Amino acid sequence: KNEVEQSPQNLTAQEGEFITINCSYSVGISALHWLQQHPGGGIVSLFMLSSGKKKHGRLIATINIQEKHSSLHITASHPRDSAVYICAVCTGNQFYFGTGTSLTVIP
Amino acid sequence: DAGVTQSPTHLIKTRGQQVTLRCSPKSGHDTVSWYQQALGQGPQFIFQYYEEEERQRGNFPDRFSGHQFPNYSSELNVNALLLGDSALYLCASSSGTPGELFFGEGSRLTVL
């Protein structure tokens, strides 16, 4: 069993749609990271969360520590949002990564 | 302000050889972590260095070793390369743990 599960695995949306990507984890964490990876490999950190909710532009990330669940929302999606979104958790001893959600936004 | 830089960007080795990958952290960061990402998969945590010591380690064999220098830069060494070691190796730096991760562009290793 993976310590971090993401859903959906693949997602196609029309430009302007509201998008939600989910992450569930099974370990105790000190922080949860949402990462964005474009083709070619470069990874950008979007959010680091330990509680509550954070917003940056059109991106919103929430975390529920009791339910061990986090969501990443993209409002008014745009083709440039097309990328792989990865959820990662930091425990006291390790980092665990989800397998990623591949998002394609169609104009 | 330079971000995280990794070298080399691409390299090809043969089975049994050894490889050293290098990472310079973002200015002001003292913690460096390394990850292996096989094609089509999520990254896997290899280890993390802080104050020149390995602080955390993932589920990787002893063939994978590292080092952190006084200027916080870091090296990842892999001995006795296997075909399965072919992957993108990513370095990330942060200021302490947990801290926001800043990733380099990665070193793509191909083992033939």
Average pLDDT on B34-49 reads 93
Q: CA B7, B27, B47, B104: dihedral to nearest 10 degrees?
A: -40
Share of chain A above pLDDT 90, in %: 89
Average pLDDT on B92-98 reads 86
Give the pLDDT of residue A1: 65
* Average confidence score pLDDT of chain B: 94
Q: How far is A96 from chain B (nearest CA, A)?
A: 7
Q: How far is B31 from chain A (nearest CA, A)?
A: 14
| Residue of chain A whose alpha carbon sits nearest to that of B94 | A45
Average pLDDT on A42-50 reads 93
